Amino acid sequence: MTTRTEAVYLPLMFLTVSMLGGLRVADRITFAPPPLFALVLAMLLLGVLVRGGVVAPERLLNAQRPAVANLNGLMVIVTTFFASTQVFNLIIPESGLPFLLFNVFLFVLLINTLAGSPDRVSVLRSLAVITGTSFILKFIFLTALSDPAGGAFKRALLSLFEGMTLGALSQQPLHPATGYIAFGTLVLFLIGMAMLPAAATHRAQPKLRISGDVSRHRRS
């Protein structure tokens, strides 16, 4: 990772994600602060990122680095946390039953991932799937259901869930621009995640140990 990436590009990218993650365009523009549970989910995601080797905190903060470099490293970690918080704020529906279901689903998913031992590529792939699926559910599925005009997609969904009341599912209608901004924000977030300094020796140690054991065995 270059100095420019660590000191400039990554913090600015994650801050942009933090800014746009709360942007809601309806009849007026609002910047929605994250709900408390988004902080919990972001903390879990940070744990997953470290455990999966997506980010290596020791490459950003260590005693050998000068103070200003450590400050840059700290900024990367802090902005990663805030960007994660705002991404959860973005992909989780605003109210009702979907708000509860999304929170529980993401919490269980992150706890499960944290309990396992995923590698860097798996974590990044899983993150893309989680954010992508949530985006589709919130900005396409739920938005179509909450559309007061009711387009063809809503009619198709209603016929699919015949007899089900939509009171618990419908959300406050948003301007279509919100969806486009959300898509761009998620792409920026995923690019930032892939650019984080990865753990260099992740998953390499077990292989080395095996080869050492074999050579000792041969000598004997």
Residue 12 as a binder of other proteins (CB under 8 A): the answer is yes
Q: Which residues contact 23 (CB under 8 A, 6 or more apart)?
A: 29, 30, 31, 32, 178, 181
Q: Which residues contact 105 (CB under 8 A, 6 or more apart)?
A: none
Residue 1 as a binder of other proteins (CB under 8 A): the answer is no
What is the rounded radius of gyration, in angstroms, for the C-alpha atoms of the chain?
21
Chain-centroid distance, C-alpha 35 = 15
Q: Which is nearer to other proteins, 7 or 166 (CB)?
A: 7
Q: Which is nearer to other proteins, 31 or 161 (CB)?
A: 31
Q: And the tokens for 128?
A: 């893309």
Q: Which residues contact 134 (CB under 8 A, 6 or more apart)?
A: 91, 92, 102, 106
Beta bridge partner(s), residue 23: 31
Residue 134 as a binder of other proteins (CB under 8 A): the answer is no
Q: Which is nearer to other proteins, 65 or 154 (CB)?
A: 65
What sign does the dihedral 38-44-47-53 (CA atoms) show?
negative
Stretch that binds other proteins, among 24-32, 53-61, 144-152, 154-162 (CB under 8 A): 24-32
Stretch that binds other proteins, among 64-72, 101-109, 160-168, 207-215 (CB under 8 A): 64-72
Q: And the tokens for 7?
A: 């000191």
The one among 60, 72, 80, 91 contacting other proteins by CB under 8 A? 72
Stretch that binds other proteins, among 4-12, 141-149, 151-159, 166-174 (CB under 8 A): 4-12
The one among 1, 40, 65, 154 contacting other proteins by CB under 8 A? 65
Q: Which is nearer to other proteins, 75 or 91 (CB)?
A: 75
Residues that bind other proteins (CB under 8 A): 3-4, 6-8, 11-12, 15, 18-19, 22, 28-31, 33, 65-66, 68-69, 71-72, 75, 79
